[in-house]
Amino acid sequence: MKTFTLNDGCSIPALGLGTWKSPADEVTQAVKSALEVGYQHIDAAWIYQNEAAVGKGIHESVKGGAVSRDQIFVTSKLWNTFHQAESVEVGCRETLRELGLDYLDLYLMHWPIAFKPGRAQYKAPEDFYPLSEVPLSETFEAMVALREKGLVKSVGVSNFTQSKLEKLIAETGVVPAVNQVELHPYHPQTELLDYCQAQGILLTAYSPLGSGDRPDSMKQKDEPPLLQNEQVKAIAEQENLSPAQLLIAWAIDRGTVVIPKSTNAQRIAENFAAASHDLSEQARSAIDKLDIQYRYVSPDTWFFPGITYEGEGFWA
């Protein structure tokens, strides 16, 4: 498995198993199938509400001798309700308890947004802490302290734009190891990739296959399904790959980590095989030239100027 070296010296496998939307009664087996076939990286999060089942898969695989804990790279994410500095360790320890682990390899701030805990929903400005009250820099510094306590090995962020990264780095003096964002041919974020590569921040590509199993409430009418794109299908055929494999190989070829989600053993193995495919230059440039722009994941109901973001817009 190809690996990348993070700016703190740790190594991260280029392919990981995504677990958002994976039902708890399926994800244990998915994790076991992945580790059996050769994955060494699992992407989890507190909010996915399946970390205990993910942890069970890890433990059963370790117990069965398929892998050892130190051969597996486990990522999790601090949920938006734990942004206050004194809550950060609480959120991390809840995740560790659920996963049954004593450390995480990578801990990410899931969103640059602070929820007030205990609300039934997050739809009105008063459901959020304004960034001026709970600054991202204080949340991130509390995450860095977890590294010093040995609870996490590397610390990063997710859903950060360049302007948010610049501000975070200026305020904390710490360069996040990773920024996990939506990346695929319809949303390649090439400028962000260039900036992060120059800063030594590794990008992880989420929803690399177009996140077709998102809840309907998150979908727009007539959205373009990436895996069904005729050009993607044709290029995949030329490369002797499935469309999903092509998208995975493209992501790694760009120098990003990629974390496709599947709970199907056959597709888990198919996705794993893509990580060792050397993409041809023709295929790379043909995908780079696809001219559809589409972002699949954008919780617009959380975006309030002056509260959950500053400046031009949440994604600016």
Ligand X SMILES: NC(=O)c1ccc[n+]([C@@H]2O[C@H](COP(=O)([O-])OP(=O)(O)OC[C@H]3O[C@@H](n4cnc5c(N)ncnc54)[C@H](OP(=O)(O)O)[C@@H]3O)[C@@H](O)[C@H]2O)c1
Give catalytic residue positions: 48
Q: Does 261 bind ligand X (CB under 6 A)?
A: yes
Q: Does 264 bind ligand X (CB under 6 A)?
A: yes
- Of 176 and 210, which has the nearer Cβ to ligand X? 210
**What is the smallest separation between the CB atom of 65 and ligand X, expressed in angstroms?**
26
Q: Does 39 bind ligand X (CB under 6 A)?
A: no
Q: Which of 61, 76, 95, 158 touches ligand X by CB under 6 A?
A: 158
**What is the smallest separation between the CB atom of 36 and ligand X, expressed in angstroms?**
16
Closest CA to 73 of 100, 26, 47, 107: 107
**What is the smallest separation between the CB atom of 43 and ligand X, expressed in angstroms?**
4
DSSP 39-58: --EEE--GGGS-HHHHHHHH
CA-CA distance, 69 to 73, in Å (whole number)? 8
Give whole-number Cα distances, 256 to 15, 182, 250, 280, in Å: 9, 11, 9, 17
CA-CA distance, 121 to 127, in Å (whole number)? 8
Closest CA to 131 of 316, 311, 309: 309
Would you give the DSSP letter of residue 71?
Answer: G
Q: Which of 207, 229, 256, 308 touches ligand X by CB under 6 A?
A: 207
- Of 144 and 265, which has the nearer Cβ to ligand X? 265
214-233: contacts with ligand X (CB under 6 A): 227
Residues that bind ligand X (CB under 6 A): 18-21, 43, 110, 158-159, 180, 206-213, 227, 242, 244, 259-264, 267, 270-271, 297
